Amino acid sequence: MKILRIRRGFTTNSSAYTEWLPPTSQQGNAGAQAPPGQSTTPPAAQGAVAPGTTPTVPAATAGASSPTAGATPPGHAAGNTLTVVGVIGALLAVFVTERVIRRLRRNRRPDDDADE
Amino acid sequence: MPMNRLAELPLVLRPESFGGMLFDPTDATFLELDHEGFELMDAFARDPHQGLGAEAGHFIDEVRAQLTRLDGRPIRRVDGIPLDDAAPVPVLSAPSLVDFQITDRCHLDCPHCYASSTSQGEHAPIADILFALEQIADVGAYQVALGGGEPLLHPDLERVLTRCHELGLVPNLTTSGLHLGERNLALIADYCGAVGISLEGVGDAFDVYRKSGFARFQQVLAKLRARGVPTVLQVTLNTETFAQLDAITEFCRHQEDIYGVIFLAFKPVGRGAAFGTPLAAIEPGRVHERLQQTFFTLSEVTRVGFDCCLTPGVTGTGSTFDAHAARYLEGCSALRSSIGLLPNLDVLPCTFTPEHAVGNLHEQSLREIWQGLATRRFRDHMAQRAANNASCSSCAKYGYCLGGCPVMELVNCSRDYLGSGLGIPVTRA
């Protein structure tokens, strides 16, 4: 059981039921975080029906190409970016490590495998 | 800030597709809960003294810490409105906010008035207002933004505010402040959440928009603050006021104890259609940069907000501001989390779209209208408009922008979703 998100503030006009953007210094507060535990799946793979879930651009009408990406729920765009960067970083690290191991093995002298 | 009568109101608990929402009227706190959290709060609302396990007890403690008061306070459980099928855009189970124009009358005759209000404008009959408020409360809305016209001119304002209170609704209002006598001031201080007053410029620049003058504006502001009324400065941005943004920001930065500053996209509606130019005429990168700069300056001293119409201008190119906004902004709220209501009880996506009425409360209930065909068509239009726009359909920020205003071209984004020529300024303000 979780508090997904916290908003505060009276709304005096029609153009959004909540419209206040807390100071960035509050990003560290639990309530200011994007809903925890929610998907960071790339937008195109997500469906959506309600705030707090995942809005997706629907299939375009005739003449328009199919959407290649939908959308993330509020607060998830930044999280997705971080995830993508993390995945790319991890893949890069695996690639570099694999190359280093191959290089070490190529350069290894025959007696490297010998017991002391 | 003195506590007003909002603290007497019960909390409101409402189911949503993601779980549910708990609303504290005292300071307009919205807690979005997951399904388990909602079920637990629902059980707690029915029996606050039931035995709770450690995990549940910890959760209740977390909720308690975010509210002005939980213990000993009634929780009003509302059902929301079940939707027949999956909506093409995110939709709450009921409007959370109703923007209610209770009168068409105003003596200021502002040249940019989107409601085209006049001294001869009609007030909504009090019977109609009370009828509408019943329905608004019945579906589980939380707040009512009273406007007009000048709502303080309505002869039954007191009954409107007290009825909101009886129904558990939080009334906020937007006013010029010209009719802010002691009686109205006391009513507002007692019953309202916040009051918005418009600021389109500083000094002479203000006087272009409002014949009441800047000195009078400052008097109104002082009066509201002296009474401890949470006061919001509403800044409507068009190409002219955008050019005044430095002066406006500087003025706002020195206003102690205001509730916040909200920036609104200018809409070419009503008399305003012939008076101003929307921000769409300005290079989007420049709009984004200035909004970001303004946010960082003002958020050090007060709340800062942006209406949903401005969202494309807030979306940028991966800036801190952009990433931060993505956590809170949700794109156009029309018929997703809010509605507009005219004095004749026409229900609109928002009060800037009178030509898109989706029903009238004299003919259908708000519940029926929220589920109705016209409403669903508007939501479909909102989704399809973005889907048919290559800039939006491939945009990772669609989730917090939803493709901008579905009706008007108000402000462009860094992907040039309005097709004005990416990065090429159309007009410099």
B354-388 per-position pLDDT tens digit: 999 999 999 999 999 999 999 999 999 999 999 99
pLDDT, residue A90, reads 79
pLDDT, residue A67, reads 30
Residue B46 CA to residue B48 CA, distance in Å, equals: 6
Query: Please, which residues have CB within 8 angstroms of residue B172's CB and are 6 or more apart in sequence?
Result: A10, A11, A12, B143, B144, B145, B146, B192, B193, B194, B195, B196
B287-320 pLDDT tens trace: 999 999 999 999 999 999 999 999 999 987 777 8
pLDDT, residue B9, reads 98
pLDDT, residue B239, reads 95
Instruction: Please say whether the beta carbons of B188 and B168 come within 8 A.
Output: no
pLDDT, residue A94, reads 77
Of B59, B90, B296, the CB nearest to A53: B90
Residue A9 CA to residue A21 CA, distance in Å, equals: 10
Instruction: Please say whether the beta carbons of B261 and B289 come within 8 A.
Output: no
Structure tokens, B159: 């009954």
Whether B273 has a pLDDT exceeding 70, the answer reads: yes
Residue B273 CA to residue B268 CA, distance in Å, equals: 4
Whether A64 has a pLDDT exceeding 70, the answer reads: no
pLDDT, residue B7, reads 96
Q: B48, B13, B9: which is closest to B30 by C-alpha?
A: B13
Residue A40 CA to residue B51 CA, distance in Å, equals: 36
Residues of B in contact with A75 (CB under 8 A): 326-328, 400
Helices (H), B49-208: 54-66, 126-139, 157-167, 182-191, 204-207
Q: How confident is the model at residue B327 (pLDDT cuts 50, 70, 90)?
A: confident
B98 CA: distance to closest CA in chain A (Å) = 7
pLDDT, residue B234, reads 95
Residue A20 CA to residue B296 CA, distance in Å, equals: 13
Structure tokens, B220: 């109104």
Q: How confident is the model at residue A92 (pLDDT cuts 50, 70, 90)?
A: confident
Q: Indicate the helix (H) or strand (E) that contains B380.
A: helix B373-387
What are the C-alpha distances in Å from B57 to residues B40, B62, B244?
A: 10, 9, 52
For helices B245-253 and B284-298, give the axis angle rounded to 10 degrees.
Answer: 10
Q: B179, B119, B133, B129: which is closest to B153 by C-alpha?
A: B179
CB spacing of A4 vs B32 below 8 angstroms: yes
Structure tokens, B189: 């201080």
- Mean pLDDT lowest among A61-70, B95-104, B240-249: A61-70
Structure tokens, A44: 């195109």
B195 CA: distance to closest CA in chain A (Å) = 6
β-sheet bridge partners, residue A20: B305
Whether B11 has a pLDDT exceeding 80, the answer reads: yes
Q: How confident is the model at residue A88 (pLDDT cuts 50, 70, 90)?
A: confident
Of B142, B234, B323, the CB nearest to A78: B323
Residues of B in contact with A26 (CB under 8 A): none
- Angle, alpha carbons B200-B401-B385 (nearest 5°): 105
Q: What are the phi and psi torsion angles at B345 (to 5°)?
A: 70, 20
Most confident of A24-38, A98-112, B8-22, B38-52: B8-22
Q: How confident is the model at residue A86 (pLDDT cuts 50, 70, 90)?
A: confident
Residue B271 CA to residue B276 CA, distance in Å, equals: 9
pLDDT, residue A99, reads 77
Ordered strands of the B195-198 beta sheet: A20-21, B303-306, B260-265, B231-237, B195-198, B170-174, B143-147, B97-101, B338-341, B346-348, B359-360
Entry field: residues in chain B: 429
For helices B157-167 and B126-139, give the axis angle rounded to 10 degrees.
Answer: 20
Instruction: Inform me whether the C-beta atom of residue B317 falls under 8 Å from chain A C-beta atoms.
Output: no
Reported as half-sphere exposure (CB side, CA atoms, 13 A), residue B146 has a value of: 31
Torsion, Cα B255 B261 B266 B269, to 10 degrees, reads: -100
Of A19, A43, A61, the CB nearest to B307: A19
Look up tokens 């004299």; give the residue: B362
Structure tokens, B99: 């923007």
Residue A101 CA to residue B406 CA, distance in Å, equals: 56
ipTM of the complex: 0.93
**Which one of B328, B346, B385, B394 makes the best mutation probe of the A interface by having the most chain A beta carbons within 10 Å?**
B328
Residue B263 CA to residue B282 CA, distance in Å, equals: 16
pTM summary value = 0.84
Instruction: Please say whether the beta carbons of B334 and B377 come within 8 A.
Output: no
Selected residue with higher pLDDT from A70 and B350: B350
**Amino acid sitting at position B241:** T
Q: How confident is the model at residue B171 (pLDDT cuts 50, 70, 90)?
A: very high
Kindly report the average pLDDT of chain A as a whole number.
Answer: 56
Structure tokens, B283: 């290079």
pLDDT, residue B36, reads 97
**Amino acid sitting at position A111:** D
Q: How confident is the model at residue A83 (pLDDT cuts 50, 70, 90)?
A: low
**Amino acid sitting at position B251:** F
Instruction: Inform me whether the C-beta atom of residue B284 falls under 8 Å from chain A C-beta atoms.
Output: no
Whether B423 has a pLDDT exceeding 80, the answer reads: no
pLDDT, residue B103, reads 97
Residues of B in contact with A57 (CB under 8 A): 383, 386-387, 392-393, 398, 403
pLDDT, residue B97, reads 96
Residue A93 CA to residue A86 CA, distance in Å, equals: 10
What are the C-alpha distances in Å from B389 to residues A46, A61, B136, B420?
A: 19, 10, 35, 13
Whether B155 has a pLDDT exceeding 70, the answer reads: yes
β-sheet bridge partners, residue B260: B232, B303
DSSP class of residue B346? E
Kindly report the average pLDDT of chain B as a whole number.
Answer: 93
Instruction: Please say whether the beta carbons of B266 and B198 come within 8 A.
Output: no
CB spacing of B398 vs A31 below 8 angstroms: no
**Amino acid sitting at position B89:** V
**Dihedral over Cα of A51, A56, A59, A64: its sign:** positive
* Beta strands in B277-404, from DSSP E residues, in sequence order: 303-306, 338-341, 346-348, 359-360
